[in-house]
Amino acid sequence: MVRSVGRKAAYLGELTRMGIRVPWGFVITRSAFRRFMEINRDKISDALKGVNLEDPRDLERRYETIKEIMTQTEIPLDISLEIEHFSREISTDLVAVRPTITSSMSGPSFAGETETFLYVNKVDLPFYVKQAWASYFNPRSLAYRIAQGMPLEIAVLVQEMVNPESAGTAFTIHPVTGNPNWVVIESSWGLGQAVTRGLVTPDRFVLPKRDRIIVEKSIGHKHVMLKFDPRFGGIREIPLGGKAMEPSLSDEKAIELANLSLRIEEFFGRHVNLEWALQDNKLYILEVRGVKTMWEEI
pLDDT at 109: 44
| Residue burial 1-36, b: 16+ Cβ < 10 Å; e: rest | ebeebbbbbbbbbbbeeeebbbbebbbbbbebbeeb
Instruction: Using pLDDT thresholds of 50, 70 and 90, give the confidence band for residue 171.
Output: very high
pTM of the model: 0.90
Give the CATH fold of the 166-291 domain: D-amino Acid Aminotransferase; Chain A, domain 1 (3.30.470)
Tens digit of each residue's pLDDT (9 = 90 or more) over 16-26: 999 999 999 99
Let me know if 255 is exposed, middle or buried by CB neighbors in 10 A (0-12, 13-18, 19+): middle
Tens digit of each residue's pLDDT (9 = 90 or more) over 118-149: 999 999 999 999 999 998 888 888 877 777 77
- Which residues in 52-202 belong to E strands, given as ranges? 94-101, 117-121, 154-160, 166-171, 182-189
Q: Residue 165, Cα to own-chain centre: how many angstroms?
A: 18
Of 61, 63, 72, nearest in space to 145 by CA: 63
Domain ranges of the chain: 2-160, 166-291
Does residue 111 surpass a pLDDT of 70? no
Architecture in CATH for domain 2-160: 2-Layer Sandwich (3.30)
Determine the Cα–Cα distance for residues 225 and 209; give it in Å rounded to an integer: 30
Tens digit of each residue's pLDDT (9 = 90 or more) over 3-40: 789 888 999 999 999 999 999 999 999 999 999 999 99
Q: What is the mean pLDDT of residues 70-89?
A: 96
Instruction: Using pLDDT thresholds of 50, 70 and 90, give the confidence band for residue 82.
Output: very high
